[in-house]
Amino acid sequence: MPSRHFVKYTFLKLDPAWRRLDVAEREQHKREFAVACQDFAEDHYLAAYSTVGIRGDTDLMLQTQAENLERIHEFHVVLNQSGLAHWVTIPYSYLAMTKLSEYSDESRTELRRHENKYLFVYPFVKTRAWYGLPAEERGRIMAEHIRVGKEFPSVDINTSYSFGLDDQEFVIAFNTDNPGDFLDLVQRLRGTESSSYTLRDTPTFTCIATSVEKALAALDGVALERV
């Protein structure tokens, strides 16, 4: 059986007072944070995203993956030793694991690495009535859901599972170069039968893919490159 992985989505919000520190101190804080990320990324998956100007309650998101929970724990312990960590809060944090889907043979036990410009991510909870349906009925309903998803090949989905690990049941993440395609996909999914069994699918985060260094630079005034 393929090895399953832990997946962590960590959203950070910067204290605006940090921007009033002198340039040298801010640069030191960012270097320490970046080094911690680089160390983890040597043998584990790490992707950085900027949310500056996209949401008012987060500025940066780190998506990480490891085969054991201790490595993710260790990474965040080291991250907390950086100077920047003294100036941020974590308003949202989602823990999940990969597993094969019972509805699709396209699922995977590792996050797919992407070069797409954008990531859309949200926690997801189904109603208890969903789990009371016969397996065949759930399969029929999900077949329609999957069919609609395939109408938008530019949008790739990574689903991870949080049952018993965190407050949500799933963390859903979509990678794409075209936000309009994702918007249209979500609107189409609202009309499917599966949507009636959704209890919660918010908050929703729109994230811009970038390097750790550029995400950190955006915190105090360096814009990401316009494409």
Task: Report pLDDT for 224.
Answer: 78
In 3D, which of 189, 199, 197, 195 has the Cα closest to residue 132?
A: 197
CATH of the domain at 146: 3.30.70.1030
Label residues 111-120 b or e (16+ Cβ within 10 Å = b): beebeebbbb
What residues have CB less than 8 Å from 127, skipping those under 6 apart?
197, 198, 199
Percentage, residues of the chain above pLDDT 70: 94
CB 48 within 8 A of CB 37: yes
Q: Are residues 195 and 127 in the same domain?
A: yes
Mean pLDDT of 194-207: 97
109 confidence band (pLDDT: 50, 70, 90) = low
Residues 15 and 82 both lie in one domain:
yes
C-alpha–C-alpha distance, residues 202 and 183, integer Å = 15
Same domain, 152 and 185: yes
DSSP 55: -
pLDDT per residue over 148-196, tens digit each? 999 999 999 999 999 999 999 999 999 999 999 999 999 999 999 999 9
- The 10 Å Cβ neighbour count of residue 105 is 6
Domain ranges, residue 84 = 6-97+208-220
Q: What is the pLDDT of residue 227?
A: 45
The total number of structural domains in the chain stands at 2
What type of residue sits at position 33? F
**Whether the Cβ atoms of residue 183 and residue 143 lie closer than 8 Å to each other:** no
The fraction of the chain above a pLDDT of 90, given in percent, is 88
**Residue type at position 89:** T
| Vertex 119: Cα angle to 195 and 144 (nearest 5) | 25
